[in-house]
A and B are shown apart, each in its own frame.
Chain A
Amino acid sequence: AQSVTQLDSQVPVFEEAPVELRCNYSSSVSVYLFWYVQYPNQGLQLLLKYLSGSTLVKGINGFEAEFNKSQTSFHLRKPSVHISDTAEYFCAVKETSGSRLTFGEGTQLTVNP
């Protein structure tokens, strides 16, 4: 069975600072990896995904993530955050042969002026 651990439940940062949201996964088979963002009272929006190929994946809103198979990690990064990046971020995993997305418990990113 697959699982996802998001190591930080809350990450406060100042505007224009860099940020990293950490995600580790567990699976006995090959997986696809995802980061979703959820703004208050809204559904989830896909930020980026890793399916295969280059381990550095670029997404929307200036975010990127790096897949590290040996460390089973998929950390999300942004070099300079904005107030508008304040939201809940979810890491998710799906077995390549399966259909179920398994989400982590989320990281609340709060960007302060």
Chain B
Amino acid sequence: EAGVAQSPRYKIIEKRQSVAFWCNPISGHATLYWYQQILGQGPKLLIQFQNNGVVDDSQLPKDRFSAERLKGVDSTLKIQPAKLEDSAVYLCASSLGPRLAGTYNEQFFGPGTRLTVL
């Protein structure tokens, strides 16, 4: 079974430029997550989709970050304009959903996109 796919794997941009990341979740997974992992820290949830609807975007810096999941499958995360502090690995994950009470649907992670902002 194919895992979560992300592209590009690496991206270097200048500050104030725009950048977009793409994620293709595991087939049949209704829930999709974007995480930001700054060097030396654990991943932090940016946004969670259930099908094509947003479940949680409370930690997404909405003045510069946006995300969409058209047709409830692939997703893109955009940063416009980028700042130096956006340098991080952006991880996409997916899981089955919705879950039954008392159960847990494992999140499967992609390899990430490493963004460097100069």
Binding site for B on A (CB under 8 A): 4, 32, 41-46, 49, 51-52, 90, 92, 94, 96, 99-101, 103-106
Q: Is the CB of A99 within 8 A of B109?
A: no
Provide a sorted-by-A list of 20 A–B residue pairs whose CB atoms are within 8 angstroms.
A32-B104, A41-B112, A43-B109, A43-B112, A44-B91, A44-B93, A44-B109, A45-B109, A46-B106, A46-B107, A51-B102, A51-B103, A52-B102, A99-B48, A99-B55, A103-B42, A103-B44, A104-B42, A105-B40, A106-B41
- Seen from chain B, the residues whose Cβ lies within 8 Å of a Cβ on chain A are 4, 40-45, 48, 55-56, 91, 93, 102-104, 106-107, 109-112
Given A90-B42, A105-B41, A106-B41 in contact, is the A43-B102 Cβ separation under 8 Å? Answer: no
CA distance A91 to B90 in the complex (A): 19
Cβ-defined contact, A42 with B111, below 8 A:
yes
